């Protein structure tokens, strides 16, 4: 066991597009989406020990430890470790909840990657991704660590290299339920699956956007404000929306116009995850 305490990055992502092809018999949706990471991260401090138990400290309120994806990920990985291997994890949360930025899935993936390292389990990324998929469809992309087009329910990944733009991300004061949106009767579900070359060369869209705007007026209000300055899209099922800029200076110029009722941040798109880059430096 590597007992050194390490602060691990847990990055957010954007869905640069999201297309829904069909709903499967099991209720899940076949989709095509482009994941790109951003340099906006939570932090997980991993403190391995020989207690045989998993403990978690977090500032999140009203979320029991047993319901946190970090705890669930650690418990799953303990099945591959000696019984006396334990860990204490401190979470510093920066990624907003319910924003479509993948914070919970990223936390789970970072936990799996970090404990695989600390507990010296030597599981492959493929094995970790298979474990992570049981926690959420977005967990595998964070383990994969490279910008990719995802198909199926999000588990089939093909590496791509979109421009690493700068983004102004706006965070409405509301929480969008992914489950509610994907169950909504008005969600479009018949977009024809497209080849990779066409996906990468067209103007991008999010098939969830109209449904989210119709059911969450605050999201519609934010898009209406931001789209005046630059092309704007929803990420995931929201609630966050983002606009694309060539430079950080351009993004920050518009950020200065942010109304008082809205929170925003500027970030850079990354085709390699900060977690993947961090892990490579440890090896």
Q: Which domain CATH number covers 213? A: 3.30.70.890
- Give the per-residue pLDDT at 264: 97
CB 71 within 8 A of CB 54: yes
Q: Give the total number of structural domains in the chain.
A: 2
CA angle 59–67–234, rounded 5-degree value:
75
Whole-model pTM above 0.85?
Answer: yes
Domain with 72 in it:
6-160
CA distance 172 to 241: 8
- Give the per-residue pLDDT at 25: 79
Among 160, 181, 200, give the residue marking a domain's end: 160
Asked if 259 and 149 sit in the same domain, the reply is no
Asked if 21 and 122 sit in the same domain, the reply is yes
Asked if 44 and 23 sit in the same domain, the reply is yes
Asked if 153 and 178 sit in the same domain, the reply is no
Asked if 23 and 143 sit in the same domain, the reply is yes
- Among 11, 87, 95, which residue's Cα sits nearest to residue 56? 87
Asked if 94 and 124 sit in the same domain, the reply is yes
- Give the per-residue pLDDT at 59: 81
178 dihedral zone (left: phi>0; alpha: psi -120 to 50; beta): alpha
- Give the per-residue pLDDT at 98: 84
Task: For residue 27, say if its preceding peptide bond is cis, omega within 30 degrees of 0.
Answer: no
- Give the per-residue pLDDT at 61: 75
pLDDT tens per residue across all 283 residues of the chain: 999 999 999 999 999 999 999 888 787 788 999 999 999 999 999 999 999 999 999 987 777 888 899 999 999 999 999 999 999 999 999 999 889 999 999 999 999 999 999 999 999 999 999 999 999 989 999 999 999 999 987 778 999 999 999 999 999 999 898 889 999 999 999 899 999 999 999 899 999 999 999 999 999 999 999 999 999 999 999 999 999 999 999 999 999 999 999 999 999 999 999 999 999 999 7
Residue 280 inside a domain? The answer is no
Asked if 30 and 152 sit in the same domain, the reply is yes
Question: Has 13 been annotated as catalytic?
Answer: yes
Give the domain CATH number at 27.
3.30.230.10
CA dihedral 231, 265, 6, 275 (to 10 degrees): 0
CA distance 88 to 86: 7
Query: Which of 42, 72, 78, 138 is an active site residue?
Result: 138
Asked if 21 and 155 sit in the same domain, the reply is yes
């Amino acid at each position: 066991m590597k007992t050194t305490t390490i602060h691990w990055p847990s990055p957010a992502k954007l869905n640069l597009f999201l297309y829904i092809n069909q709903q499967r018999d099991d209720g899940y949706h076949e989709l095509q989406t482009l994941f790109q990471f951003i340099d906006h991260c939570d932090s997980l401090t991993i403190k391995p020990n020989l207690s045989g138990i998993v403990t978690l400290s977090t500032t999140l309120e009203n979320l029991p430890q047993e319901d946190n994806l970090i705890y669930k990920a650690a418990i799953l990985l303990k099945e591959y470790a000696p019984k006396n291997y334990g860990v204490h994890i401190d979470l510093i949360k920066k990624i907003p909840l319910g924003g479509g930025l993948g914070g919970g899935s990223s936390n789970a993936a970072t936990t799996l990657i970090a404990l695989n390292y600390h507990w010296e389990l030597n599981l492959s990324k493929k094995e970790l991704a298979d474990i992570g998929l049981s926690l959420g469809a977005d967990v595998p992309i964070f383990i994969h660590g490279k910008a990719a087009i995802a198909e199926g329910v999000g588990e089939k990944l093909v590496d791509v290299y979109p421009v690493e733009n700068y983004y102004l991300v706006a965070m409405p004061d509301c929480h969008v339920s992914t489950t509610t949106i994907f169950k909504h009767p008005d969600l479009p579900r018949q977009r024809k699956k497209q080849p990779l070359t066409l996906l990468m060369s067209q103007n991008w869209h999010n098939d969830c956007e109209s449904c989210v705007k119709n059911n969450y007026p605050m999201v519609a209000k934010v898009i209406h404000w931001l789209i005046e300055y630059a092309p704007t899209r929803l990420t995931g099922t929201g609630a966050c929306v983002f606009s694309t800029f060539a430079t950080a200076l351009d993004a920050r110029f518009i950020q200065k116009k942010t109304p008082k009722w809205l929170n925003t941040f500027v970030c850079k798109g990354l085709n390699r995850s900060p977690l993947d880059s961090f892990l490579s430096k440890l090896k």
